[in-house]
Amino acid sequence: MRVSLDPLSLSLSLKDPGKNCSTLVYSVTDIPPWYLCILLGIQHYLTALGGLVAIPLILSKELCLQHDPLTQGHLISTIFFVSGICTLLQVLFGVRLPILQGGTFAFLTPSLAMLSLPNWRCPAWTQNASQVNATSPEFIEVWQSRMRELQGAIMVASCFQIFVGFSGLIGFLMRFIGPLTIAPTITLVALPLFNSAGDEAGSHWGISAMAIFFIVLFSQYLKNVPVPLPSYQGSRKCHFSKVLLGLAITWLICFALTVTNAFPSDAAVYGYLARTDIKGDVLSQAPWFRFPYPGQWGVPTISLAGIFGIIAGVISSMVESVGDYYACARLSGAPPPPKHAINRGIGVEGIGCLLAGAWGTGNGTTSYSENVGALGITRVGSRIVIVAGGCVLLVIGMFGKVGAVFASIPTPLIGGLLLVMFGIITAVGVSNLQYVDMNSSRNLFIFGFSIYAGLAIPNWVNKNSQVLETGILQLDQVIRVLLTTGMFVGGFLAFILDNTIPGSQEERGLLAWKETCQEECDETRVLEVYSLPFGIGTKFCTSFWVQYLPTCPQRLSGSKRKEEPKSLKQENTVYVSLSH
C-alpha cells in the first residue's frame, strides 16, 4: 500500500493515451540530460519519502524501539537502501516501466498483528525511557528477536509472490478479484490504525494540526503551482513539485518554539514530545557512513502465524501493482504492458520483498503509485530518471546521518502525517466502488458487511483470544494473527461473497473496472519498451522453447501477425490504478 499526496495517476490513466503521450517531455525510452535525471530522481525520492519514513517509525513501537532513535535511524537508512536496489531491479529487469519501489502499508497491519501476540509483546521496562539502555545486550536481544521473526515471515511469504509472478498465475488470480474485493481490503489497511495515528497526533494537537494544514495546502490547494526547472532545450520545460514542504515548515516552527522554550521541558507535561531536542543526540551518535547488509540483525526465524498474515498483504500488494503498471504505462508514453512484462514485474517485486526481509527493513517492497502521479506533474516518463531515483535512494541509505535526521522528527509531526496518509488510503479503498452499481442491495450488503466485520471481529478476538485456543500453540497463533488482521477478514469475506452471491458482470463492476485497450499496439514498440536489457531479450528469449516461459514474449508467426493488434486489444485489460 502506498500513499499519494498528488493523486493524479487514477484520473490521468483514464484519459486518452495518445493525449497523455503528446504532452510528455520525455517518453519512457528517452534519455533526458544527465543533470535533469539527477534533479528529477531526487524529486521522486522526495515524493516517496513520507511513506518510506512512516513505516519504520510505526513499527518501532511494536519492536520496543520507541526510546531508541538511533536504531530507528538505522531502520530508515536500511529501507532507503533496499528500496534503491529494488527500484533498479524493477526498472532494468522487471516490468521495465518508470516506477519506484518502496515499503508497503499492506504488510504493516499483519506485522502489527503478529507482534501483538503474547510472546512478542514488549516488556514493561522498555516503555520507560529511564530504564532503557540502547547498548545493553538484553535490550538489543529484545528488539532484534522481534525483527528476526518479522524478517522470516516476510522472506517466506515473498516466495509465494515470486512463484505467482514468474509462473504467470497473477492473470488467473485477477479473474476472481474485483472492485468489491479490493475496496474493503484497501480500506481496512488504514482504518484499524486510527489508534496509532491518534496517539501520535495527540501528543500535541496544535502542532499536528499545523502539519496537516501545510501538507494539505501544498499537496492539494497548491499542487498545480510548480517550481520551474530549466532543461537541455528551451522548448522542453519540466516541473518540480513541492510535496513535503509542509513537514519542513512545521519542523522549523517546532525548532523555533523549542529554542524559545515555548514547549514544556518536563517529560510529564503535555506538549513535551513536540520539542526537537528530545532526540537531539541521535545526530551526534549516528555514523556518517553505514553500509546495510543482509542479516545485520541476526539470522531470521520463522513462524506459521506471521507467514499467513504477510501472505494476505502480499496478495493485496500484487493486485495494486498490476493497476499501477497500466497507469504508469499510460503516463510514460508506453504501450500497455503485455502479460510477460506483468509477470516479470510481480516476480521481481517478490524478489524485492525477499531482499527486504534479508536486509531487515521490517517490511516488504511494492510499486509506489505516488511516483506514477509524479510522472503527470513533471511530464517526464523516462525510466532513466527512475534509475537515477533508485541510485539516490541507494546512496542516501548508506549515510547514517540522513536516517538519523528523519528518526528525530517530533512525534506530533509524525501523527499529522499519519492522519493524512491513512485518510488517503481509506478514501482510495472506497473509491473503487465507483465501478460498482451501488444502487444494488447485493453490493451494498457485501461492502458494508465486509467493512463492519473487518473491524468487529479483530476487536473481539483481541479481547477474547482465549476462547479460540485449541491447545496447539502454532495453530492458535495462526488463527489469532489472521483474525486480528482486519484487512484479511474483510477482504476474505468480500472475496467469498462477491464470487458466490449471484450478480451480473456489470453489477459487480467488472466491466467498468476492466477497460479494454483502445489503441493498437505495435509489436516493435512493445518489444522496445518491455524487452530485457543488455541483449538478454534478443539472445535469451529468441529460443523456441524459451518463448513459452511466462516472462518472455511469445512472438507470432507471419500468418498471425496481422491479427496481433486485435488479440492485444483483447488481452491487455486495464486495471485502474489504486493510487495512494
Q: What is the pLDDT of residues 535-549, one digit of tens each?
A: 676 666 666 666 667
The rounded Cα 94 to chain-centroid distance in angstroms is 17
Q: How far is CA 418 from CA 83, 110, 400, 444, 449, in A?
A: 21, 18, 24, 29, 26
Which one has a higher pLDDT value, 15 or 320?
A: 320
Q: Please report the pLDDT score of residue 316 as a whole number.
A: 78
Which one has a higher pLDDT value, 129 or 434?
A: 434
Which one has a higher pLDDT value, 438 or 554?
A: 438
Range of lowest pLDDT (165-169, 434-438, 472-476)? 472-476
Cell of 17: 493515451
Q: For the whole model, what pTM was predicted?
A: 0.76
pLDDT digits (tens, 9 = 90+) for 336-361: 788 888 899 999 999 999 999 999 99
Q: Please report the pLDDT score of residue 17 as a whole number.
A: 42
Residue 200 pLDDT > 90: no
Residue 484: φ, ψ to 5°: -100, 5
pLDDT digits (tens, 9 = 90+) for 146-183: 999 999 999 999 999 999 999 988 877 777 888 888 88
Residue 392: φ, ψ to 5°: -60, -45
Confidence of residue 453 (pLDDT cuts 50, 70, 90): very high
Name which of 409, 306, 326, 332 is nearest 367 in CA terms: 326
Q: Please report the pLDDT score of residue 312 as a whole number.
A: 80
For residues 439 and 252, give the distance between their C-alpha atoms in angstroms, rounded to a whole number.
49
The percent of residues in the chain predicted with pLDDT above 70, rounded, is 82
Range of lowest pLDDT (107-121, 370-384, 506-520)? 506-520
Average pLDDT over residues 322-332: 78
Residue 388 pLDDT > 60: yes
Confidence of residue 514 (pLDDT cuts 50, 70, 90): low
